[in-house]
Structure 1
């Protein structure tokens, strides 16, 4: 049997009107939503942080990370804990989603490349597209969506602004 016909498992979830999926091997756990602690000077998509068994875990709002309005917390809202980052600096990151659906199995030949136009997501966020139960599912490239380096660089200008303002006040 060739690799193309061996199914891989993906966790499917909802954010707004879109159904997404990510490789199940990156998912560490799924938690019911509970109130998070906000952190000043973070990009808008960083919803806050949570304590996960003694570890501080940042939680991003997938909708905002994808350029959409902030998620509304509903009864089915969940935090999906994923492992992200480079091999030497792996860390847990939470992702706020509207609902988690199910684990699905897809073969490589069932995954199509993302269209080059008409998509509201950054092209590097999409690993592919698949058709599942009469819907299209966008397969996310989680290492890009949860890029620790990129998210840190997006919060750096705010920190630099504070430093510049405090420097001006001292002079």
Structure 2
């Protein structure tokens, strides 16, 4: 998807690669904290965290994108994101290795995602931006957290905490 306007995005590192999510998606950035483990959840579900009295599902974005699980270090952060899920807005905590920047990308600098040559599902990507020595991958948050048959429902998990 090529945007019609400039995009302001939170840029972060994940498994040695650089990704970004639109600023409007990211509600806040938290220091990493351990999650309450959810029995029999999918591998990418790290558990639940409490954010000001609200139980938030925490996602290991590395696993969701097919990378090795996150190794927690001093720069590990949680991006609290709002993801459109049908008629409602789902709040998720997304584990990232390091937050790098908040950047503005000119609409003309965003390229379409090639169908071949990237290691992630192309429907998870809204576009790419060239940078010195590589690319910044603009993620499509809503599509990353949808199952093949529709949106994943986290409502039962929030009541379990």
TM bucket normalised to smaller:
0.7 to 0.9
Tell me which residue corresponds to 2:140: 141
Structure 1 or 2, whichever has the larger Rg, is 1
Q: Secondary structure at the match of 2:111?
A: coil
Q: After superposition, what is the alpha-carbon deviation per residue over 1:106-131, rounded to whole angstroms, capped at 9, x for unaligned? A: 11110001111111101110100001
Q: Secondary structure at the match of 2:24?
A: helix
Tell me which residue corresponds to 2:21: 22
Tell me which residue corresponds to 1:52: 51
Q: After superposition, what is the alpha-carbon deviation per residue over 1:34-92, rounded to whole angstroms, capped at 9, x for unaligned? A: 11111001100001110111111001001000011101001100000000133632121
Tell me which residue corresponds to 1:127: 126
Tell me which residue corresponds to 2:38: 39
Shift of 1:134: 3.8
Tell me which residue corresponds to 2:88: 89
Question: Where do 5+ consecutive residues of structure 1 fail to align?
Answer: 154-171
Shift of 1:8: 2.0
Tell me which residue corresponds to 1:12: 11
Q: After superposition, what is the alpha-carbon deviation per residue over 1:15-35, rounded to whole angstroms, capped at 9, x for unaligned? A: 101100011101000000011
Tell me which residue corresponds to 1:114: 113
Aligned length: 150
Shift of 1:104: 0.6
Q: Secondary structure at the match of 1:138?
A: strand
More displaced 10-residue stretch of structure 1: 35-44 or 124-133: 124-133
Tell me which residue corresponds to 1:159: none
Shift of 1:133: 4.2
Q: Secondary structure at the match of 2:78?
A: strand
Q: CA RMSD in A?
A: 1.9
Contact 1:9 / 1:106 at 8 angstroms: preserved in 2?
yes
Shift of 1:147: 3.0
Contact 1:84 / 1:147 at 8 angstroms: preserved in 2?
no
| Structure whose residues are more often strand by fraction | 2
TM-score relative to the length of structure 2: 0.86
Shift of 1:150: 4.1
TM-score relative to the length of structure 1: 0.81
Tell me which residue corresponds to 2:159: none
